Amino acid sequence: MRTITLHNGVEIPQIGFGTAAIGAWQQDDSRVTDTLLKALAVGYRHFDTASVYGNERALGRAILQSGIPRDELFIVSKVWDTEQGSDTQAAFERSLERLELEYLDLYLVHWPVPAYTRETWEVMESLYDEKKIRALGLSNFRKSDIEQLATFARIKPTYNQLELHPYFTQKALVEYCQFHQMAVSCWSPLGTGGWSDVKTREKPVSDPVIQELAEKHGVNAGQIILKWDVQQGRIVIPKAESIEHMTGNLELWGFELSDEELATIDNLNRDLRFGGDPDTAHESNRQVQVPE
């Protein structure tokens, strides 16, 4: 598994497994655990979850049942909007308990809530000092949020997870993050999963340019998009529920996209956001509860 080295020296597998809404939103049962066990069996070692996904327990069960040594895994979770500020420490401990782990490899602020960022980050820094977290990161943070964090952060974030796909490339923000030594990770790299109401024909996987490149290289459309990301040094965390898709998302090394092909995909950008917008997401996020 190819890795990227974060600025604090921690290595993260470049291809991870996204766990949001396996089966259904906040589903946490044997079906979710079985899906995660399949992902472990085909070779995934980097798993991205969050307290609000409601499936940390299922991931914990899968890790335990797999028998894979903890130090071979890279586990990521996130603190939700309603847990930020004074509840951050307790929220982290709840995540660890649900996952049945002693530490996390990466812990993220799920969405920017500027009023709470300082208090949240300072708790995370303490957890990092205590070696309960190996790396600290962000999710959905805008340039203004990162600038705010820089005014007080003792420990720099290593990573920013963004909605990023060929229709929403966020080029300026990506370059800003990379300049500041933050790895960029892409959620919904294929243009949203089954949890959204976006029709398949409207997603980048159905774009004629992507389809043509897939045919040319003898791979599927998803592999073209993921290769576009990894070739440019980004981390991807696609979700998959079938063995075919799980293995396909890992098999990106038998072909290469030319600079011209990478640019062609870049040019598909429409500034089309399928998921939440950090400018407005907090209002609706506050209505979403983290399951016990």
CA 243, chain centre distance (Å): 20
| Residue type (1 letter), 110 | H
For the chain, where are the alpha helices, taking DSSP H only?
30-42, 56-66, 88-99, 114-129, 143-150, 171-179, 208-217, 221-231, 243-250, 259-266, 281-285
Residues designated catalytic: 53
| Residue type (1 letter), 20 | A
Return contacts of 29-35, CB within 8 angstroms, 24+ apart: 29/58, 32/58, 33/58, 33/59, 33/61, 33/62, 33/65, 35/241
Pick from 31, 34, 88: nearest CA to 62: 34
| Residue type (1 letter), 211 | Q
56 and 26 in contact (C-beta within 8 Å)?
no
Cα separation, 254 vs 226, whole angstroms = 13
